[in-house]
Structure 1
Amino acid sequence: MNDRWQINGLPLPDPLIDLIESGRWRHPGDEVLRQLIPWLDDPLDFMTTIDELRLHNRLIAELGTDTLEFFQIGRGSAGRPIVLPWLDLDQAVFIAECRYAGDDIAVALDYRTNPADPRVLATALPAARHCSWRQVTPTFTQFVDALHLR
């Protein structure tokens, strides 16, 4: 795989590359997304190009320690295992984020389960003082199929 289709050193899944290249990686509509991720009350926007994916993932990686802790995002490379409800930033690629600043929601690929077909996670609103991460689908392929993007 060439570096063009990598984010933070992680290869994008082949179905995502195909969808981006064909222009079919686009938001399916708020209601369709709400049916798949019912715990997200606020709207999301998909990152639809490789440049947009790179930019937004770089900006997330640059967030301060307190912000990352609020979103329960850690770094497995720091020497401790990161498990749900935390997201391992070193093993994740964000693919969608809140449409409106302050909504504090996102969707990410989680490579801890399968590097070729990572699971899809979404933030869950904070119950206490932190957000957490919940599984949307066990694989990206299932996410795409559930949204009828192919």
Structure 2
Amino acid sequence: MSDGLAVPPGLSSLIESGLWPTIDSAHAQNLRPLAALEDIDRLAPSETSLFLYPPPFQTLASKIRKSRRFWAEYGALDEIDPELALVIGDFGLGSDAAIVLDYRRNPSEPPVLRLAWGHDGSHWVEAASDFGEFARLLRLG
């Protein structure tokens, strides 16, 4: 569990096997990415890096409490329930584009959403139908 939300089995497996970053190994991703650029592009066209957060994961609501102004202006909060969105990563330093598990529709296998930036502002878009698809797209394990 992270912030009260159950981590999907596929993510738990990657954590237990050591294939998901830990607090000690997370920053190494800045030098040695865990996913290839073409895989990141397939998940999120125009993004060029990926940073996976180590557990324990926080809800988007917890992140909002730390930087309310940014999220109020750019977080497309009318499109998501921050209490039911678990942040598992972003698209690298300075991206401000979170990757979340969205527990609103399916609490046992939540879809993966990403905050996408566009000319008309930011919006949450589905990156993968569930965590298993997310891991396959990025060839994480």
Q: TM-score when scaled to structure 1?
A: 0.73
Aligned length: 128
Over the aligned positions, Cα root-mean-square deviation in angstroms equals 2.3
Pairing 1:10-89 to 2, within 5 Å after superposition: 10-25=5-20, 27-38=34-45, 40-47=46-53, 49-51=54-56, 53-54=57-58, 60-69=63-72, 70-73=74-77, 86-89=79-82
Find the partner of 1:107 among 99, 109, 121. 99
1:34-62, CA deviations, whole angstroms, 9 ceiling, x for partnerless residues? 12221x43422111x314x34x8676132
Q: Percent identity at matched positions? A: 27
> In the aligned structure 2, how far is the partner of 1:37 from the partner of 1:71?
17
Q: Which aligned runs of 4 or more in structure 1 are off by greater than 6 angstroms?
A: none
Q: Output the TM-score relative to the length of structure 2.
A: 0.77
2:118 pairs with 1:118? no
Contact 1:42 1:98 (C-alpha < 8 Å) held by counterparts: yes
Q: Which runs of 5+ in 1 are unaligned?
A: 1-5, 74-81
Selected match of 1:8 from 3, 13, 27: 3
Q: Which runs of 5+ in 2 are unaligned?
A: 22-33
Shift of 1:64: 4.2
